[in-house]
A and B are shown apart, each in its own frame.
Chain A
């Protein structure tokens, strides 16, 4: 069975600092993918970044990067130069093998990030 663990229930960071949100995963599958989603207080789920298990390079999307360490089964999200608008819940999610092309995502419990001015 797949499992995602986010060990930081809450984090407080000063504006403009970099922040790392931890995510470890457990799976016996060779093919899998890891997603990060942001959930602001308004409640919607916003896709941030994706890393595939066979991708050799760490994924980057603007201020977001994913520190993927396959041997340690970790997929940490790094946000550079944090902004007040980054305050939100952040979820790490894992996709296992495709089922007829469908992605069955397993989510972690989330980390609440608060950016202080």
Chain B
């Protein structure tokens, strides 16, 4: 019963370093999403994907890149880490029964990232 798996769970980066947050789902969901949650705030959408090879920007995409080479994986890359990117990052996935499916998004447990 893995669902959505995020690695690592915690990471500390120095300013200017780069890293990739991994996200994998085993539910054969076609839609995947990346959110960030700043302290005391709700989640904000960074990027999303409607299927392998197709990605698009969300509300706060600056400073991040994504790729989706397979249905299962949706990694998020930070190229030049900045203190403003200190946050908890959540990956989510959902499937569609049709173009207007209302299936809820299933979330991973999050990655807590600190940039110092």
Given contacts A50-B104, A107-B42, contact A102 B88 (CB under 8 A): no
- Shortest C-beta distance, B63 to chain A (Å), equals 19
Which residues of chain A are within 8 angstroms of B100 by Cβ–Cβ distance? 31, 98, 101
Kindly identify which residue among B33, B56, B104 contacts A35, using a CB–CB cutoff of 8 Å: B104
CB of A43 within 8 A of CB of B110, answer yes
Which residues of chain A are within 8 angstroms of B105 by Cβ–Cβ distance? 47, 103, 105
Complex CA–CA separation, A91 to B102 (angstroms): 17
CB of A101 within 8 A of CB of B40, answer no
Given contacts A47-B104, A47-B105, contact A101 B43 (CB under 8 A): no
Q: Is A11 engaged at the interface, CB distance under 8 Å to the other chain? A: no
Q: Is A56 engaged at the interface, CB distance under 8 Å to the other chain? A: no
Complex CA–CA separation, A101 to B51 (angstroms): 10
- Shortest C-beta distance, B2 to chain A (Å), equals 14
- Shortest C-beta distance, B42 to chain A (Å), equals 3
Q: Is B30 engaged at the interface, CB distance under 8 Å to the other chain? A: yes
Closest Cβ neighbor of A48 among chain B residues: B104
Complex CA–CA separation, A97 to B43 (angstroms): 19
Q: Is A109 engaged at the interface, CB distance under 8 Å to the other chain? A: yes
What would be 30 A-B contacts, judged by CB atoms less than 8 Å apart?
A4-B42, A31-B100, A43-B88, A43-B109, A43-B110, A44-B108, A44-B110, A45-B43, A45-B90, A95-B102, A99-B50, A100-B50, A100-B99, A101-B31, A101-B50, A101-B96, A101-B98, A101-B100, A101-B101, A102-B33, A103-B94, A103-B105, A104-B58, A105-B33, A105-B45, A107-B42, A107-B43, A109-B40, A109-B41, A110-B40
Which residues does A use to contact B, with CB under 8 Å? 4, 31, 33, 35, 37, 42-45, 47, 50, 52, 91, 93, 95, 98-110
